[in-house]
């Protein structure tokens, strides 16, 4: 069977563990050459070893523009072009609204928003026309989860980016999309207390956390030709899909006068 990413080159930030690592493994299995990044050299070396072949590790922090320049200099030397950028690196922290500090805000926005923006902007000279940009969002951006406001806002900001980029990059045929997982069992989540994890799981219709490999399959869809006519979307994880379904149902009932009118549905999603 032909591989979905045969001959493609992908950059995945934050590829040393969790969703990024699972995606890097799947992309390589599907024929891609992958560049992964992370701040910790030891974890980066271990990830490169675990992936095995068709992979380079470039140490760096997405919040530091000089590190991103170094990343793309390496990509340029080794491969000379990029087909897929997965701006996955991100951090999450729970901080009650009253305790939000300048440091907390700057850390989350520097990594999650500034990091994602410049990861993509600096890839553009190497990104092939027709390429695919994927950002890692979160269902948190629309959930209103207590003490998660800054993280949620950072993920809402990147959803906005892809919508603008669909027009900014239209002439080059570059697609931009967001994958927005629900709770996924990664090191980031397992660092939370048992209480928090229990509370999170109780809100998931599947009754369990997702696996990083399940998000990787969605990233593969958005990276490959399977999504060749998909741009500007936010593909939500399961927890949110249920909400979205109820939202659509409510919209349908409200607008019975024109139940089949697509724009009514579309408006409710905006």
Residue numbers annotated as active site: 151
Q: Which residue has the tokens 């928090």?
A: 196
Region near ligand NAP per CB under 6 A, out of 3-11, 31-39, 163-171, 246-254: 31-39
The number of beta carbons lying within 10 Å of the beta carbon of residue 109 is 17
- Cβ contacts of 72-75, under 8 Å, gap ≥ 24: 72/122, 72/123, 72/125, 72/126, 74/35, 75/9, 75/11, 75/35, 75/126
Q: In degrees to the nearest 10, what's the CA dihedral of 213, 177, 232, 74?
A: -170
Nearer to ligand NAP, 90 or 131 (CB): 90
Give the whole-angstrom CA distance, residue 270 versus residue 265.
Answer: 9
Q: Is 222 in the site for ligand NAP (CB under 6 A)?
A: no
Minimal distance in Å, beta carbon 18 to ligand NAP? Answer: 2
Q: Is 234 in the site for ligand NAP (CB under 6 A)?
A: no
Provide the mask over 53-92, with x wherever binding to ligand NAP is found by CB under 6 A and - wherever it is not: --------xxx------------------------xxxxx
- Cβ contacts of 40-44, under 8 Å, gap ≥ 24: 40/16, 43/16, 43/17, 44/16
Q: Is 183 in the site for ligand NAP (CB under 6 A)?
A: yes
C-beta of residue 56 within 8 angstroms of C-beta of residue 49: no
Minimal distance in Å, beta carbon 112 to ligand NAP? Answer: 6
Applying CB under 6 A, among 26, 82, 111, 216 the residue interacting with ligand NAP is 111
Nearer to ligand NAP, 17 or 83 (CB): 17
Applying CB under 6 A, among 6, 40, 78, 93 the residue interacting with ligand NAP is 40
C-beta of residue 216 within 8 angstroms of C-beta of residue 181: no
Nearer to ligand NAP, 62 or 220 (CB): 62
Size, binding site for ligand NAP by CB under 6 A: 32
Minimal distance in Å, beta carbon 205 to ligand NAP? Answer: 15
C-beta of residue 100 within 8 angstroms of C-beta of residue 149: yes
Residues that bind ligand NAP (CB under 6 A): 13-20, 37-40, 43, 61-63, 88-92, 111, 115, 136, 138, 181, 183-184, 186-189
């Amino acid at each position: 069977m032909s591989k979905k990413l045969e001959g493609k080159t992908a950059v995945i930030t934050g590829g040393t563990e969790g969703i990024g690592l699972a995606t890097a493994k799947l992309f390589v299995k599907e024929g891609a050459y992958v560049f992964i990044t992370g701040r910790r050299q030891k974890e980066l070396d271990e990830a490169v070893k675990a992936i095995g072949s068709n992979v380079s590790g470039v140490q760096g922090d997405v919040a530091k523009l000089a590190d991103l320049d170094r990343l793309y200099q390496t990509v340029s030397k080794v491969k000379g072009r990029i087909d897929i950028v997965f701006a996955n690196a991100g951090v999450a922290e729970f901080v009650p609204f009253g305790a939000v500090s300048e440091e907390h805000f700057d850390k989350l926005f520097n990594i999650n928003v500034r990091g994602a923006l410049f990861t993509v902007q600096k890839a553009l000279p190497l990104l092939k026309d027709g390429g695919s940009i994927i950002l890692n969002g979160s269902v948190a951006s629309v959930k209103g989860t207590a003490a998660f406001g800054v993280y949620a806002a950072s993920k809402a900001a990147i959803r906005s980016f892809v919508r603008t980029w669909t027009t900014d990059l239209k002439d080059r045929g570059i697609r931009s999309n967001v994958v927005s997982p629900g709770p996924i069992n990664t090191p980031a989540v397992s660092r939370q207390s048992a209480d928090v994890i229990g509370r999170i799981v109780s809100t998931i219709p599947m009754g369990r956390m997702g696996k990083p490999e399940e998000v990787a399959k969605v990233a593969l869809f958005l990276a490959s030709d399977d999504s060749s006519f998909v741009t500007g979307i936010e593909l939500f994880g399961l927890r949110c899909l249920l909400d979205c379904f109820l939202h659509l149902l409510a919209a349908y009932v409200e607008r019975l006068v024109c139940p089949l009118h697509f724009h009514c549905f579309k408006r409710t999603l905006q």
